Amino acid sequence: MNQNNNLEKKYKTVKSSKVTISELMLPSNTNFSGKIHGGYILSLMDQIAFACASKFSGSYCVTASVDTVDFLNPIEIGELVTMKASVNYVGNSSMVIGIRVTSENIQNGKVKPCNSSYFTMVAKDSEGKNALVPRLILSNQEEIRRFCEALHRKETKKENKNIKKTFDYTSSESIKKIELMDIKIDL
């Protein structure tokens, strides 16, 4: 890359990517046990990930993957759910968006953590091709930690893909592990 291209690079802070949304949970969003449906929360998480990535990149963005959604506590009807998202990591056209979800009982003010997740979003240009995203300015130790953790998850994910490609599920060792779990194989 020549010096002129380096001068044209855009840099943005993590703070510039931050998005917060809040929504009151209604009976129409419940599952069969009367709690707010996890799928509904995932849909809201996808929306805030899109908003965060689009705000940061200045481009239309699509969801490439969702890494580990941890459901920590159920959400009740009538609670105010707040989602906070920010860019944790950037690649060439991809961004890892960290999302935290809390709910507040609006009658007594008690706040509880409900979900956390990482969405990988990819910026697209007007022709649907991957678009370059701004480079990230890390402004404090917390932002550095989140960036490094996202980088570690990305590297681990790549290693796991390679292991899956070479893993022999038909080996005698694999079969023994299955049988030790009191699972029957009936081929």
Task: Kindly tell me the sign of the dihedral angle through the C-alpha atoms of 104, 110, 114, 119.
Answer: positive
Could you tell me the two tokens for 162? 């390679």
Task: Kindly tell me the sign of the dihedral angle through the C-alpha atoms of 175, 181, 182, 185.
Answer: negative
Who wins on pLDDT, 167 or 149?
A: 149
In Å, the largest CA–CA distance within the chain is 64
Taking the domains of the chain in order of start, what are their residue ranges? 3-138
Please tell me the predicted confidence (pLDDT) of residue 92.
96
Burial 16-38 (b: 16+ CB within 10 A, else e): ebebeeeeebeeebbeeeeebbe
pLDDT band at 36 (very low <50, low <70, confident <90, very high): very high
Q: Residue 38: which region, alpha, beta or left (left: phi > 0; alpha: psi -120 to 50)?
A: alpha
- Rounded distance between C-alpha atoms, residue 128 and residue 99, angstroms: 25
pLDDT band at 44 (very low <50, low <70, confident <90, very high): very high
Residue 19's identity, in one-letter code, is: V
How far, CA to CA in Å, does 40 sit from each of 3, 83, 178? 47, 13, 35
pLDDT of 180 over the 90 cut: no
**pLDDT tens, position by position, 109-132:** 999 999 999 999 999 999 999 999
pLDDT of 6 over the 70 cut: no
- Residues forming beta bridges with residue 124, ordered by sequence position: 60, 130
pTM: 0.85
Of 108, 88, 109, 83, give the one whose Cα is nearest residue 98.
Answer: 88
Mean pLDDT of the residues in the chain: 91
Q: What mean pLDDT is predicted for residues 24-35?
A: 95
**Statement: 3-138 belongs to CATH 3.10.129.10:** yes
Who wins on pLDDT, 185 or 95?
A: 95
- Rounded distance between C-alpha atoms, residue 4 and residue 84, angstroms: 36
- Rounded distance between C-alpha atoms, residue 107 and residue 105, angstroms: 5
pLDDT band at 3 (very low <50, low <70, confident <90, very high): very low
Asked if residue 121 lies in contact with residue 63, where contact means CB atoms within 8 angstroms, the answer is: yes
Please tell me the predicted confidence (pLDDT) of residue 7.
47
